[in-house]
């Protein structure tokens, strides 16, 4: 432990320490170092402590860490560290803080939404803030705990421009109505899967921002256990711990309730970055319904771009929607162009029926195919498919 002794000796020079960075130290070593940091560090401007080891007890920090005061601190990054009892006192002293990141908070490090906002209110210079819990179990489980009435006036955070949150949607719904950030332009949300999402406060919070640009497109990416939604460069939402069917169901709930500009989007890209899950008896029709429910709010969508895996699941759903006479005018009424990567023969029958129904309804759609190569060569030649296909 000679290295630890040298670190402890260096930390005794508190007046000369400007930056502290401990990356992925074992918990026993972190505890020994933290125990030596009980006095104030008046020159400290940057603090970074990370711990990625989930298999052993997390490090326990003393309540008097940093003497409970860090008046010159401008950047604080804690990952995998429980929020010790004195953390609120410490943060209330950091009125020069610009960047605050609290990620991967373990079960023993819970902090309430009220305390979070109290700390943030004491940071008038705070520009970037991220709060992330390790799992749903990192928060209390009392019934209706998160449904506390919000304060009549939210706390004004005059400098905040970037906000990130990872955790349970219930916690987020209690946190967001307590925040008023007039300059915010970037929001990133990660939510743990829940059977039923109820997120009206997310909608209200986003409505108070200027992060959505009408000209920006949106993209949805599906992974093995996560769905990721991005709108331009200013907003992203991820739902973790889900299967494809649950991803669709979760996304339908949140898209229909939480995104103010969803009905005005012009372009949407969908990628299925996973092996296509097999269909089981009775699954196919239900998946069609989920896809169509997902597309329902996109009433202004003009350009829909699908990778080859997404096309295999979505084209049959679009074809299915237009079997009814009124279907062609109800689903994606503004759609003008459909782009499909590696347009294959098995999809052509469904595309022909889809395009024909659109033409008969007076809402024609052009279908484009490309093979993804930089030279722009065709994936399918126009003569091989009886619908308009062009290069992009």
The whole-angstrom separation of Cα 150 and Cα 163 is: 19
In a domain, 131, yes or no: no
CA distance 289 to 69: 56
pLDDT, tens digit, 9 for 90 and up, residues 146-205:
556 777 789 999 999 999 999 999 999 999 999 999 999 999 999 998 877 888 899 889
How far from chain centre, in Å, is Cα 154? 23
Minimum mean pLDDT range among 49-53, 60-64, 94-98: 49-53
The answer to the question of residue 331 being in a domain is: yes
Evaluate whether residue 295 is within a structural domain.
Answer: yes
**Domain range spanning residue 302?**
261-392
CA distance 213 to 197: 25
219 part of a folded domain = no
First to last CA, the chain: 62
Exposed, middle or buried by CB within 10 Å (0-12, 13-18, 19+), for 141?
exposed
In this structure, is residue 167 part of a structural domain?
A: no
Q: Which is more confidently placed, 368 or 130?
A: 130
- Is 349 domain-assigned? yes
Q: What percent of the chain has pLDDT over 90?
A: 32
How many separate domains does the chain show?
1
pTM of the shown model: 0.85
Per-residue pLDDT at 54 exceeds 60: yes
Instruction: Calculate helix-pair angle for 27-35, 2-11, nearest 10 degrees.
Output: 30
Per-residue confidence band for 96, with pLDDT thresholds at 50, 70 and 90: very high
| CA dist., res. 32 & res. 26, Å (int) | 10
Q: At 102, list the tokens.
A: 């609290």
Q: What percent of the chain has pLDDT over 70?
A: 81
The answer on pLDDT for 89 being more than 80 is yes
**Dist. CA 33–CA 294, nearest whole Å:** 51
**CA 188, CA 194: separation in Å to the nearest integer?**
18
* 197-222 mean pLDDT: 84
E strand segments, the chain: 19-23, 46-50, 75-79, 99-105, 128-133, 155-156, 162-167, 179-180, 186-192, 218-222, 226-231, 235-240, 267-272, 303-306, 337-341, 366-370
Q: Tell me whether residue 237 is in a domain.
A: no
């Amino acid at each position: 432990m000679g290295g630890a002794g040298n670190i402890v000796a260096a930390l005794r020079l508190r007046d000369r320490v400007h930056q502290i960075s401990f990356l992925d130290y074992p918990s026993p070593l972190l505890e020994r170092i933290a125990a030596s940091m009980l006095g104030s560090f008046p020159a400290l401007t940057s603090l970074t402590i990370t711990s990625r080891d989930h298999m052993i007890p997390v490090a326990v920090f003393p309540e008097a860490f940093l003497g409970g005061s860090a008046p010159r601190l401008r950047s604080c990054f804690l990952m995998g560290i429980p929020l010790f009892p004195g953390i609120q006192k410490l943060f209330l002293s950091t009125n020069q803080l610009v960047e605050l990141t609290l990620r991967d908070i373990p079960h023993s490090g819970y902090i309430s939404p009220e305390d979070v906002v109290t700390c943030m209110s004491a940071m008038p210079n705070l520009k970037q803030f991220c709060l992330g819990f390790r799992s749903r179990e990192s928060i209390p489980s009392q019934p209706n705990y998160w449904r506390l009435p919000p304060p009549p006036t939210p706390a004004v955070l005059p400098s905040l421009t970037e906000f990130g949150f990872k955790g349970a949607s219930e916690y987020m719904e209690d946190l967001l109505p307590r925040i008023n950030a007039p300059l915010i332009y970037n929001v990133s949300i990660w939510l743990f899967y829940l059977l039923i999402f109820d997120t009206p406060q997310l909608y209200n919070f986003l409505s108070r921002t200027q992060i959505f640009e009408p000209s920006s497109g949106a993209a949805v990416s599906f992974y093995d256990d996560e769905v990721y939604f991005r709108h331009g460069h200013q907003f992203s939402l991820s739902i973790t711990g889900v299967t494809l069917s649950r991803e669709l169901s979760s996304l339908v709930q949140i898209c229909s309730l939480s995104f103010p500009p969803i009905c005005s989007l012009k372009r949407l890209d969908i990628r299925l970055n996973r092996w296509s899950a097999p269909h089981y008896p009775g699954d196919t029709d239900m998946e069609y319904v989920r896809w169509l429910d997902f597309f329902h709010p996109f009433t202004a969508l003009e350009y829909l771009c699908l990778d080859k895996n997404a096309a295999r699941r979505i084209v049959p759903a679009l074809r299915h929607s237009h079997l009814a006479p009124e279907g062609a005018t109800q689903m994606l009424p503004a759609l003008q162009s459909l782009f499909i990567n590696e347009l294959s023969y098995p999809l052509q029958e469904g595309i022909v029926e889809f395009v024909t129904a659109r033409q008969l309804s007076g809402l024609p759609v052009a279908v484009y195919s490309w093979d993804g190569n930089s030279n722009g060569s065709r994936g399918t030649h126009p003569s091989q498919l009886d619908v308009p296909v062009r290069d992009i």
